[in-house]
Structure 1
Amino acid sequence: MKRSEVSFLKDIIKHADKIRAYLGGLEFYEFEQNERLVDVILRNFEIIGEACDKVTQKTKDENPHIPWRNIKGMRNMIVHEYWNVDLKIIWNVYEQNLDGLQRDINHIIDHIIMTEQFRRGDS
């Protein structure tokens, strides 16, 4: 079954929410010392990267401020170079970029839904 672009975008929001819930209130040293937590966080970032890859080129072109290529690149590093993942970079992405990404993705979802409703003639 083919999934809609909005479904993939919602996956990004869902897994970003999970990361925030798991890491909220923790310090970096608590994160890096907890192997299970590291595994969970890396898996959620992997899913975010894969979901970003499923977003249409049109949406990516309309939102060049989102670092689509970097997000996919981080996913590729986690999957294909797992031995070389720098947890400080993962932590910095969580602290510095995740909120903005969620905000931007929510705007895209809203725009897509409004555009679809307009095309159907919904009010």
Structure 2
Amino acid sequence: MRDYKLYLDDIRAAIKKIEKYTKGLSLERLRKEDLIIDGIVRNLEVIGEATKNIPPQIKVKYPDIEWKKIAGLRDILAHEYFGIDLEVIWDIVNNKLPVLKKKIFYLLRK
């Protein structure tokens, strides 16, 4: 099994890609950019999948990270792709990912 810090690094890399894809983008413009939507969704899936591989003892030690919700989002994105609400995705990208990024960077430095 991979070291859990490699999964944290996968999360960090996926967040950086999403930031790159959405820099200077509005929700209105995003609605017209299928490739960007696909890139965001794919990287959110990567984040969720990586989260599933974080050991339970780490999840217990850092309960302020919503591990279960992140993994659940991955399942929703993977299995209900055609029912994805872009406003929810946009909120995650703009409000949840910056917080997660800080927490992941903190864990990577430990």
TM-score, structure 1 as length reference: 0.86
CA RMSD of aligned residues (A): 0.8
Q: CA deviation at 1:84?
A: 1.2
Identity %: 32
Q: Which runs of 4+ in 1 moved over 6 A?
A: none
| Matched positions, count | 110
Q: Aligned partners of 1:65, 1:72: CA distance in 2, in Å?
A: 15
Larger radius of gyration between Structure 1 and Structure 2 = 1
Match for residue 102 of structure 1?
101
Q: Name structure 1 gaps, 5 residues minimum.
A: 112-123
Q: Aligned partners of 1:35, 1:110: CA distance in 2, in Å?
A: 35
Q: Name structure 2 gaps, 5 residues minimum.
A: none
Q: Aligned partners of 2:55, 2:32: CA distance in 1, in Å?
A: 37
Q: CA deviation at 1:10?
A: 0.3
TM-score, structure 2 as length reference: 0.96
Q: Aligned partners of 2:14, 2:31: CA distance in 1, in Å?
A: 19
Match for residue 15 of structure 1?
14
Q: Aligned partners of 1:108, 1:58: CA distance in 2, in Å?
A: 13
- Corresponding position: 1:73 with 2:78: no
